[in-house]
Amino acid sequence: MSLVGKKAPLFTAKAIINGNEIVDDFSIEDLIGKKEIVLFFYPKDFTFVCPTEILAFQEMLPEFEKRNVAVIGVSTDTENSHLAWLSTPKKQGGIEGVTYPLVADVAKTIAANYGVLGGDWDYNDSGELVFDGAPIAFRGTFLIDKEGIVRHEYINFFPLGRNINDTLRIVDAWQFTQEHGEVCPANWEEGKDTMKETRESVAEYLSTH
């Protein structure tokens, strides 16, 4: 079930912050009321598609910060795995230089609560508890507003890397609607026309585009 329009599940977990510091009690609740949050899940450390996304978020981090948006990454790896990957140079497949928080969802409860865990526990024919699927996170992306409400989400299967530019576009669209009370049509980007939520204004917009 979609989380859009609902309270984002809160969590407290171990994380790496500033690229080199382990904290035991990182919580998104500390950001509620202060910033909007882009929370993204990725499958595994030390893989191939994941570092391209993580480094792309880092490259665009100044743009998110300029919009008062916090970026947080989550996977089911341990905090020690995160730290080792953060300490590995990019030329060796690492993500050295990433400064936003990477959360360790070792218990897989955060991914499960956000609906992005790649499987679930079940019993087989012998009555044994087994995991059906992949016990790692899909590539889920969530925009959480300052009140802690999820305003956007999308989830990709493991091989499909996400578009970080489009995540920033969604942030811009959301912030524009909040500031101006207008809505953003298909393929809207910052600087393009928006429309009022009336039948007449929609008709006028469609007739001129």
Question: Do 146 and 174 belong together in one domain?
Answer: no
Question: Do 136 and 196 belong together in one domain?
Answer: no
Question: Do 90 and 192 belong together in one domain?
Answer: no
Tell me, yes or no, whether 86 lies in a domain.
Answer: yes
Tell me, yes or no, whether 104 lies in a domain.
Answer: yes
Contact between residue 44 and residue 136 where contact means Cβ atoms under 8 Å apart: yes
Question: Do 156 and 194 belong together in one domain?
Answer: no
Look at the block and give the residue holding tokens 């909040």: 178
Predicted confidence at residue 198, as pLDDT, reads: 38
Tell me, yes or no, whether 89 lies in a domain.
Answer: yes
Tell me, yes or no, whether 1 lies in a domain.
Answer: no
Predicted confidence at residue 160, as pLDDT, reads: 96
Predicted confidence at residue 196, as pLDDT, reads: 56
Question: Do 152 and 169 belong together in one domain?
Answer: no
Question: Do 59 and 158 belong together in one domain?
Answer: yes
Active-site pick, 38, 50, 83, 184: 50
Tell me, yes or no, whether 7 lies in a domain.
Answer: no
Out of 162, 177, 199, pick the residue that ends a domain. Answer: 162
Tell me, yes or no, whether 145 lies in a domain.
Answer: yes
Is 184 assigned a catalytic role? no
**Alpha-carbon separation of residue 64 from 68, 101, 150, 161 (angstroms):** 6, 14, 17, 19
**Alpha-carbon separation of residue 36 from 69, 83, 141, 194 (angstroms):** 5, 25, 13, 22
User: DSSP character for 6?
Assistant: S
What pTM value is reported for the model?
0.89
Domain count within the chain? 2
Tell me, yes or no, whether 4 lies in a domain.
Answer: no
Question: Do 130 and 40 belong together in one domain?
Answer: yes
Q: Which two tokens stand for residue 84?
A: 């080792």
Question: Do 84 and 187 belong together in one domain?
Answer: no
Question: Do 94 and 68 belong together in one domain?
Answer: yes
Q: Which distant-in-sequence residues (6+ apart) come within 8 Å of 124 by Cβ?
A: 130
Question: Do 134 and 192 belong together in one domain?
Answer: no
Domain of 62, CATH number, reads 3.40.30.10
Q: Which domain holds residue 174?
A: 163-209
Question: Do 58 and 127 belong together in one domain?
Answer: yes
Tell me, yes or no, whether 182 lies in a domain.
Answer: yes
Predicted confidence at residue 177, as pLDDT, reads: 84
Provide the residue-wise pLDDT of the chain in tens; the chain has 209 residues: 899 999 999 999 999 999 999 999 999 999 999 999 999 999 999 999 999 999 999 999 999 999 999 999 999 999 999 999 999 999 999 999 999 999 999 999 999 999 999 999 899 999 999 999 999 999 999 999 999 999 999 999 999 999 999 999 999 989 988 877 766 566 656 664 555 553 344 434 434 44
Out of 143, 162, 181, pick the residue that ends a domain. Answer: 162
Question: Do 89 and 170 belong together in one domain?
Answer: no
